[in-house]
Amino acid sequence: MNRLLFTALLSFLFWQPAQADLQYDPGLRAKLTGFARLAADEFVPGPVSGQFIEKTNGRPVPFKQGQPVQGFSALLNNGDGSFLALVDNGYGARVNSPDFLLRVYRIRPEFKMAEGGAGTFRAEPFFTLHDPDRQVPFSIVADRESYPFGKQNIRVDPRIRAGRLLTGSDFDPESFQRLPDGTFWFGDEFGPWLLHTDATGRVLEPPVALPGVKGPDNPEPGSSEPLAARSGGFEGMALSPDGTLLHPMLEKPLKNGGGNLAIYTFDPASRRFLQDEQGTARQYYPLDQGATAIGDLTAFGTNGFLVIERDSGQGPTARIKRIYRVDFTDRDAQGVLRKRLVVDLMNLSDPDNLGGAGSGSFSFPFWTIESLAVLDARTIVVLNDNNYPFGLGRYPDQGQPDDSEMILLRLPDL
């Protein structure tokens, strides 16, 4: 047996126990300790949206009542019981989201817990990403008189043009971090780019591109073959514990990436990516068999990070919705990160029936789960991306779109 084949066989055999480990001792499952819901049909004032999608799950379009509060893709803990929540590009593609505003919301959950609680949360707009100083080097929706891609020649809302507000056809922000200086960095999937704004969402400088990598939705000219898959750019992005470095992570493997996901290191002070000796990403993350993407990367401890990993199923077809822990100092012989299962989101303990299933168990069977925040060494918060109005994870039989569900989890003492 040649060396490469032997190494591949060892790798395959090594990961089989990780699958078997999913059969938890009931005492080691993560415990649901809090639950809060935001109704699917939640809107805030803003331009008419949904003009470029079809009626889905009984929801007529366009949404003349304003902007839907949907698609939460990242979460930051404010430390006072509230969180900042980022929405993605809106309806899943550049071509159908030019009338969806890129926003950050402030949310304050009133968790339903064993001792009581409302079990709800509201979302209030915190800021909208905007580019009044024309830092973005390509044409955005606000530069046009009519929305792009559509055949109806619909005029761009004057509020978008006047404020040069960014939309889901300009960027697809999937992650963000707040630096000690109060500014924000956003990880985008289209470029993939990193986008820098002030505390109000105002773009401060041109987007920073990932060297040598472009996505198929990148509008900048160039003849190079896109290496990033569609919807495969920066998905998760962790901040180093000392607040000096960012670790943006791709959602899907690169076309030349060998099946593992790249985690990069970016230095905001020098505005450059730090690469290894071979000029590539510093970390590589292995996906489980059957998994298709990651949803988030969040710092956990001094060297540790939590990764949400998922398949593309929802409702009855959901199988892989998991949270793993990795340590950047712990890699296998091929330099790939070793990972340790922390939470199976399809198999949570719910002895207080906070989720309402009445079985002592609770599952989180959503298509995309992309927001995770750490409260302490044993407590995390997880929030789904409901993909309104498309998601059918919770109510597939009724044909009703998913709510946004926020869960508080007590991690097992492993």
Kindly state the percentage of the chain with pLDDT values over 90: 82
Angstrom distance (rounded) from CA 219 to CA 384:
29
What pLDDT is recorded for position 10? Answer: 32
* Tokens standing for residue 180: 């000690």
Angstrom distance (rounded) from CA 394 to CA 315:
6
203: DSSP letter: B
What pLDDT is recorded for position 22? Answer: 46
Angstrom distance (rounded) from CA 2 to CA 6:
6
Q: What is the model's pTM?
A: 0.92
pLDDT tens per residue, range 35-76: 999 999 999 999 999 999 999 999 999 999 999 999 999 999
Angstrom distance (rounded) from CA 133 to CA 135:
6
Mean pLDDT of 175-190: 97
What pLDDT is recorded for position 277? Answer: 55
Would the pLDDT of 26 be above 60? no
The residue with greater pLDDT, 268 or 223, is 268
What pLDDT is recorded for position 28? Answer: 73
What pLDDT is recorded for position 201? Answer: 98
Would the pLDDT of 23 be above 90? no
Domains assigned to the chain: 28-410 (2.115.10)
When pLDDT is cut at 50, 70 and 90, the band that residue 256 belongs to is confident
The answer to whether the beta carbons of residues 283 and 9 sit under 8 Å apart is no
What pLDDT is recorded for position 282? Answer: 81
Ranges 8-17, 112-121, 360-369, 381-390: which has the least confidence: 8-17
Angstrom distance (rounded) from CA 310 to CA 366:
9
Q: In what order do the strands lie in the sheet with 123-128?
A: 72-77, 83-87, 103-107, 123-128
Would the pLDDT of 351 be above 60? yes
Would the pLDDT of 7 be above 90? no
When pLDDT is cut at 50, 70 and 90, the band that residue 196 belongs to is very high
Residue identified by tokens 């830092």 is: 135
Would the pLDDT of 5 be above 50? no
Average predicted confidence (pLDDT) for the chain: 91
Indicate the burial class of 364 (C-beta count within 10 angstroms; 0-12, 13-18, 19 or more).
buried
Ranges 54-63, 137-146, 192-201, 257-266: which has the least confidence: 257-266
Would the pLDDT of 21 be above 70? no
What pLDDT is recorded for position 258? Answer: 79
- What does the angle CA 293 – CA 53 – CA 312 come to, to the nearest 5 degrees? 20
Ranges 82-91, 275-284, 287-296, 366-375: which has the least confidence: 275-284
When pLDDT is cut at 50, 70 and 90, the band that residue 413 belongs to is confident
32: DSSP letter: E
What pLDDT is recorded for position 223? Answer: 58
pLDDT tens per residue, range 334-348: 889 999 999 999 999
> What secondary structure does DSSP assign to 44-91, as a single string?
ESSS-B-TTS--BTTB-SSBTT-EE---EEEEEE-SSS-EEEEE-SSS
Angstrom distance (rounded) from CA 213 to CA 188:
13
What pLDDT is recorded for position 385? Answer: 98
Which segments within 115-243 are labelled E, that is strand? 123-128, 173-178, 184-188, 193-197, 208-209, 234-239
